[in-house]
């Protein structure tokens, strides 16, 4: 498998990743965590784990996800608050039927919610 490198600000280093990684979800998709009670909209995707070792090691070993899978940055919400979450593909389910996500940053990145997903503002694309 051919690999490349990308710089991860969260990890503070270059991360090796397959050049042809495939993600189950896309930017703008609304998802729900399989184990924890929160949902969110995806605003960025890492092809493999690209956060700090401290972050990874803080996850209890019995539920720690595999590194070699896509990880998603979410504008997340639960009953108490809104926040940014970093979640492995194995821990996410589609939740487009759950309606819009009530996160204060959503309108900065996305211009509309349609057919169960958000559409990125044209100014955010490159």
pLDDT tens-digit series, residues 16-47: 656 666 889 999 999 999 999 999 999 999 99
Residue 17's closest CA among 36, 34, 3? 3
pLDDT tens-digit series, residues 63-120: 999 999 999 999 999 999 999 999 999 999 999 778 999 999 999 999 999 988 999 9
pTM, two decimals, is: 0.85
Integer Cα distance of 7 and 71 in angstroms: 15
pLDDT recorded at residue 123: 80
Architecture of domain 3-124: Roll (2.30)
Integer Cα distance of 125 and 23 in angstroms: 18
Residue 66's closest CA among 56, 76, 58, 75? 56
Q: What are the residue boundaries of the structural domains of the chain, listed by start?
A: 3-124
Q: Which residues contact 29 (CB under 8 A, 6 or more apart)?
A: 41, 42, 94, 96, 117, 118
Residue 29 — φ and ψ, nearest 5°?
-70, 145
């Amino acid at each position: 498998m051919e690999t490349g490198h990308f710089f991860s600000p969260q990890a503070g280093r270059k991360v090796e990743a397959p050049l042809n990684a495939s993600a189950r979800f896309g930017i703008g998709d609304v998802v729900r965590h399989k184990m924890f009670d929160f949902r969110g909209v995806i605003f960025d995707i890492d092809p493999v784990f690209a956060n700090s070792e401290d972050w990874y090691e803080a996850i209890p070993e019995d539920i720690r996800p595999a590194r070699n899978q896509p990880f998603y940055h979410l504008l997340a919400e639960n009953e108490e608050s809104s926040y940014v979450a970093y979640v492995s593909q194995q821990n996410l389910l589609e939740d487009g039927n759950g309606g819009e996500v009530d996160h204060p940053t959503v309108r900065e990145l996305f211009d509309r919610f349609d057919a169960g997903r958000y559409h990125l503002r044209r100014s955010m694309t490159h």
